[in-house]
Amino acid sequence: MKRWIAFWNILAKDMRAYYLKPPNISWGIIFPLAWTGMFFIRSGSGMESILTLLPGVMTISILFGTTSMLAVTITFEKRSRSFERLLLAPISLELLMLAKTSGAILFGVANAFVPIIIAAFLTDLSGIAWFLIVPAILLMGIVSTFIGLFIAVSVSEIFEAQTFSNFFRFPMIFLCGLFFPIIALPVFLRPLSYVLPLTYGVDILHGAIHNEHIMSFTLDFIILGAFCIGLFALSLRNIKRRWIV
């Protein structure tokens, strides 16, 4: 019980101090709105094309919402030494890092629903397989957050966190099949797509929204889950090696 009091308070503190600040809330709304508008205008097609754009916009919202905030906040706390306060607390490192990342996961998931809500006003969403969308969004939020965590524990300066984040994020936009299928990529780039976790999340979203997916949903979920576990374990190992020296 005591551990969960600590867990909940770390999460609540981060939500209040970082994620629920007006600049982040406005980012969560404006960012997907801008991307949707941009691709919609670019495609030049009717409202029905919203559904084909939705997986990409949702994925970008999750990816940017989670990685940018988490990498910066953890690096900031590490530099200001307030992270030491957490390391001194009698809770396991695993629970501590889950508490620190839960805020970003929730923020990412909330961001993903913004384009869905916008789309609901513009087109018919009755054909969407929600039982696939919801767990996929959650897993994509987790995996993106853990990418952010991996970045945060690999750098020591806030500007390094931002630079390193972009190094991961922008290639993923083009390589994970967000806005054009992986099959359309040059052959030599395709293997890269399959080592990126979001490829599997995007595949589920495409399948759930307009029934176009290249792998089985089971395989997508298993690989996405494996990435979550692997990235979290890798980040914990790095924290122990780099921060408890």
Partner 1 sequence: MKSNNQPAVEVLSLTKRYGDVIAVDDISFQVNGGELFGFLGPNGAGKTTTINMLTGLARLDAGIVRINGIESTQNPKAAQHLVGVVPDESNLYPELTGFENLCFCAALYGMRKNERQTRARELLDTFGLTDAADRKFAGYSRGMKRKLTFAAGIIHQPPILFLDEPTTGIDVASARQVRQIIADLHRKGTTVFLTTHYIEEAERLCERIAFIVNGRIVRTDRTADLLQPVKGKNVLLLSVSDSGANLSGEMTSVFPQYQFQSTAPGQVQVESVEPVNIGPLVRFLEERGVQVTEARRYLPSLEDVFVQVTGIEAGLMQREKEKAGGGGNQ
Tokens of 242: 């780099």
- Total Cβ atoms within 10 A of residue 218: 8
User: Is residue 187 at the binding interface for partner 1, with CB under 8 A as the rule?
Assistant: no
**Separation of alpha carbons 113 and 108, rounded Å:** 9
**Separation of alpha carbons 92 and 59, rounded Å:** 31
User: Is residue 244 at the binding interface for partner 1, with CB under 8 A as the rule?
Assistant: yes
In the bound state with partner 1, the residue whose beta carbon lies nearer, of 96 and 208, is: 96
Q: Are 198 and 59 in contact (CB under 8 A)?
A: yes
- Total Cβ atoms within 10 A of residue 92: 11
Judged by CB under 8 A, the residue of 2, 121, 184, 211 near partner 1 is 2
DSSP letters for 223-243 = HHHHHHHHHHHHHHHHHHHHT
Place of tokens 């990685």: 67
CB of 28 to partner 1, least distance (A): 20
In the bound state with partner 1, the residue whose beta carbon lies nearer, of 45 and 92, is: 92
The window from 2-10, 49-57, 104-112, 188-196 that contacts partner 1 (CB under 8 A) reads 2-10
Tokens of 197: 């976790």
In the bound state with partner 1, the residue whose beta carbon lies nearer, of 7 and 174, is: 7
User: Is residue 237 at the binding interface for partner 1, with CB under 8 A as the rule?
Assistant: no
User: Is residue 1 at the binding interface for partner 1, with CB under 8 A as the rule?
Assistant: yes
Site map (CB under 8 A) of partner 1, residues 74-113, x = contact:
------xxx-xxxxxxxxx---------------------
The residue ranges that bind partner 1 (CB under 8 A) are 1-3, 5-6, 8-10, 13, 17, 80-82, 84-92, 244-245
